[in-house]
């Protein structure tokens, strides 16, 4: 991803997994995790894909009309159930 070439300390991505094949989605997840570990950069991901979000984000903020309505700790991957409950996913 070209945005990472200059190693910014803040990286903002809007729907980075959309329209990608599964192997490319996996590659981006690994790339983002590695980038965060190596640079300690903040990576802000805007996404409607709950699974990818839970896979890579240690913290998840839910927004409605631009207001944070939930701030979820996901350091241990525990946000999955809370997100499924919130969005009423069975």
Could you tell me if residue 11 is inside a domain?
no
Could you tell me if residue 61 is inside a domain?
yes
This prediction's pTM: 0.84
Could you tell me if residue 14 is inside a domain?
no
Tell me which residue range forms the domain holding 71.
Answer: 43-90
Task: Transcribe 24-53 into DSSP letters.
Answer: HHHHHHHHHHHHHHHH--EEEEE-S-HHHH
pLDDT of residue 90: 76
**In the block, residue with structure tokens 């969005």:** 87
pLDDT of residue 77: 86
Judge whether residue 3 has pLDDT over 90: no
pLDDT of residue 26: 96
Could you tell me if residue 76 is inside a domain?
yes
Judge whether residue 1 has pLDDT over 80: no
pLDDT in tens, 36-85: 999 999 999 999 999 999 999 999 999 999 999 999 999 988 999 999 99
Number of domains making up the chain: 1
Judge whether residue 13 has pLDDT over 80: yes
Q: State the Cα–Cα distance between residues 2 and 57, nearest whole angstrom.
A: 21
């Amino acid at each position: 991803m070209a945005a990472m070439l200059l190693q910014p300390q803040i990286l903002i991505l809007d729907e980075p997994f959309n329209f990608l094949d599964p192997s490319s989605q996996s590659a981006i997840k690994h790339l983002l995790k590695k980038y965060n570990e190596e640079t300690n950069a903040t990576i802000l991901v805007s996404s409607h894909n709950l699974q990818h979000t839970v896979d890579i984000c240690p913290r998840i903020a839910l927004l409605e009309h631009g207001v944070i309505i939930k701030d979820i700790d996901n350091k241990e991957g525990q946000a999955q159930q809370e997100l499924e409950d919130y969005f009423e996913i069975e």
